[in-house]
Amino acid sequence: MKKVILDIDTGIDDALAILYLLKHPNVEVKGLTTGFGNVDVALATKNTLQISELAERPDVPVFAGASKPFLRTWKGPVVHVHGENGIGNVSLPEPKAKAQDETASDFIVRAVNEEPGEISVITVGRLTNLAEALAKDPFLPKKVKEVVIMGGAVTVPGNVTPVAEANIAGDPEAAHMVFEAGFPLTMVGLDVTMQTQITAEDMAWMVSQKNETNAELIDALDEMVRFRLDAYKKQDGIDGSPLHDPLAVAVTLHPDLVKTKPMLVAIETKGALSSGATIADLRASEKPYYNVNVCLEVDAERFIKEFVEVVSGKQREVL
């Protein structure tokens, strides 16, 4: 059974990733670490605690982390995609649990050192917490089992600029540190996450599976997904909502969902127009080494089925 740490900036798709991970039967979740990004770190932490309680997993410890990028200023919350409160304006009970006293990066260093070779770190926010952990323990790349990153785009356009994706563009220096450090790295970028969109029909199926046990969760999920479907319709004119962050969790738990290719990928930290771009060397010649396994194809149908089944706790016969 995999042992994982999930690093999040809890907006809507982060919340869906938490629900999917905490409801998944075949994983041991060591902790959830939070940072700024879709919302500020305090709100990301509160949302994470609330979503964990919604999933009936208040036992999973939450660690608050970075409040800003390494060298830059944070650009503020992404209200049009995630709502005023980051979770589509869904109102959830105040969390009963509190975050741990230990910081996110201290926890990552401790957890990985306690079980060398065992922990998969999944990041679905800015890479600031992981870069900070790396600065505290430069041997971290040799001690983690793997790092799976939701971020970047090598064969498709960016989403916050024509060439950059939000999690990388939000702290390019942190991403540069992580990409150059020698971690066993898998990149779940927009190349595949834009292909895995939850639709109104998928959500309607989940609502049809509501019962006494899962009603609260399904209602909250329905509100969050509808908010995000509206946002993507307005922003991109599409009829689905990409499951960016849940896909990174799914790839960690089921690597055969994707086809990957080893690539040499560098992070642009200087460009006036291209800051935060993930520049993959796509030239045919042999490279001296590769630093990232980049996901290029995904079995979207299988993933969406798995996602709705795990979250609702029900089997879906027909898609």
Query: Contact residues for Ca ion (CB under 5 A)?
Result: 9, 14, 124-125, 245
CB 312 within 8 A of CB 207: no
* Partner interacting with residue 78 (select from Ca ion, ligand BDR, none; CB below 5-8 Å by kind): ligand BDR
Coil/strand/helix, residue 6: strand
Q: Give the Cα separation of 265 and 171 in Å (integer).
A: 16
The set of residues, in sequence order, having a beta carbon less than 8 Å from that of 4 and lying 6+ positions away, is 21, 27, 28, 29, 30, 119, 120, 121, 122, 249, 252
Instruction: Mark residues 75-114: x for contact with ligand BDR by CB under 6 A, - for none.
Output: ---x------------------------------------
Could you confirm whether 9 is annotated as catalytic? yes
Q: Give the Cα separation of 280 and 277 in Å (integer).
A: 9
Distance from the first to the final alpha carbon of the chain: 28
Reading the block at residue 271, the tokens are 């460009």
Catalytic residue among 9, 14, 106, 245: 9
CB 146 within 8 A of CB 123: no
Q: Is residue 159 close enough to count as binding ligand BDR by CB under 6 A?
A: yes
Q: Residue from 244, 247, 252, 263 that binds ligand BDR (CB under 6 A)?
A: 244
Q: Residue from 245, 268, 299, 306 that binds ligand BDR (CB under 6 A)?
A: 245
Among 89-97, 162-170, 205-213, 266-274, the segment contacting ligand BDR (CB under 6 A): 162-170
Residue closer to Ca ion by CB (options 121, 124) is 124
Q: How far is the CB of 167 from Ca ion (least distance, A)?
A: 6
Q: Is residue 14 close enough to count as binding ligand BDR by CB under 6 A?
A: yes
Q: Give the Cα separation of 3 and 118 in Å (integer).
A: 7
* Partner interacting with residue 128 (select from ligand BDR, Ca ion, none; CB below 5-8 Å by kind): none
